Amino acid sequence: MTIVKIVFHSGSGNTKALAEAVHKGSNQFADTELMEIKSNMITEGRFENKEFLNKLDKADAIIFGSPTYMGMVSGQMKCFLDATSERWMSQAWNSKLAAGFTTSLGLSGDKQSTLSYLVTFACQHGMIWISCDTPNSLFQGKSLEEATNRLSSNTGVMSQVNFGEEFKPTPGDLLTGEALGIRVAKLTKNFNK
């Protein structure tokens, strides 16, 4: 069966909520696992969890998620990404499929910087990048709350979330995440058949 891993870091819970939406989508068509990068896996700036990395080796596709902090993936996420360098050396992830998602406070807010970097990272691993193709339904008159892909992002899924504990990705952003999960699972299945 097709195996999809969703590996993410979340600070306040917003990226986790989006990761769960991606999982909801992907899990309909592939054996999908949510894998959260936790701060206690990082010692002096180095991610150290062999089991975590070993699991990813078995994936057919890996979907990467991170908040955008100061215009880029979070420090915690970057520590994890750096820890894949042995896989990069051996090209162990060559031709796996990849995709990405991110959240931040601002409507645009340099989230593209995060997603473009995740592509650069995936390409270093020889991976194949799947875009987000969900239409922006603001253009069809949906509200800011309900619209899918309301930020018009195609490199990956972007969600904008307001300040404060009580906020979450909008229903439309979650639907966009779910659609990315479905797309990745289906394309990966087709690619590996």
Q: Where in 84-143 is the site for its own copies (CB under 8 A)?
A: 84-85, 88, 91, 94-95, 104-113, 116-117, 119-133, 135-136, 138-139
Q: How far is the CB of 115 from its own copies (least distance, A)?
A: 9
Nearer to its own copies, 31 or 110 (CB): 110
Nearer to its own copies, 20 or 69 (CB): 69
| CA distances, 92 to each of 18, 59, 81, 85, 87 (Å) | 28, 11, 14, 10, 5
Nearer to its own copies, 32 or 149 (CB): 149
Asked if 160 contacts 173 with a C-beta cutoff of 8 angstroms, the reply is: yes
Comparing C-alpha atoms, which of 69, 59, 73 is closest to residue 30? 59
Q: How far is the CB of 101 from its own copies (least distance, A)?
A: 13
Should residue 78 be labelled a site residue for its own copies when binding is judged by CB under 8 A?
yes
- What is the bridge-based pairing of β-strands 61-69 and 97-104? parallel
Asked if 77 contacts 69 with a C-beta cutoff of 8 angstroms, the reply is: no
Residue 136 three-state SS: coil
Nearer to its own copies, 1 or 70 (CB): 70
Considering only residues 40 through 59, tell me which ones interact with its own copies, judged by CB under 8 A: 40, 42-47
| CA distances, 3 to each of 33, 50, 97, 150 (Å) | 8, 19, 11, 29
Should residue 79 be labelled a site residue for its own copies when binding is judged by CB under 8 A?
yes
Q: How far is the CB of 80 from its own copies (least distance, A)?
A: 8
Should residue 28 be labelled a site residue for its own copies when binding is judged by CB under 8 A?
no
Should residue 152 be labelled a site residue for its own copies when binding is judged by CB under 8 A?
yes
**Cα-Cα-Cα-Cα dihedral of 77, 82, 85, 87, to 10°?**
-10
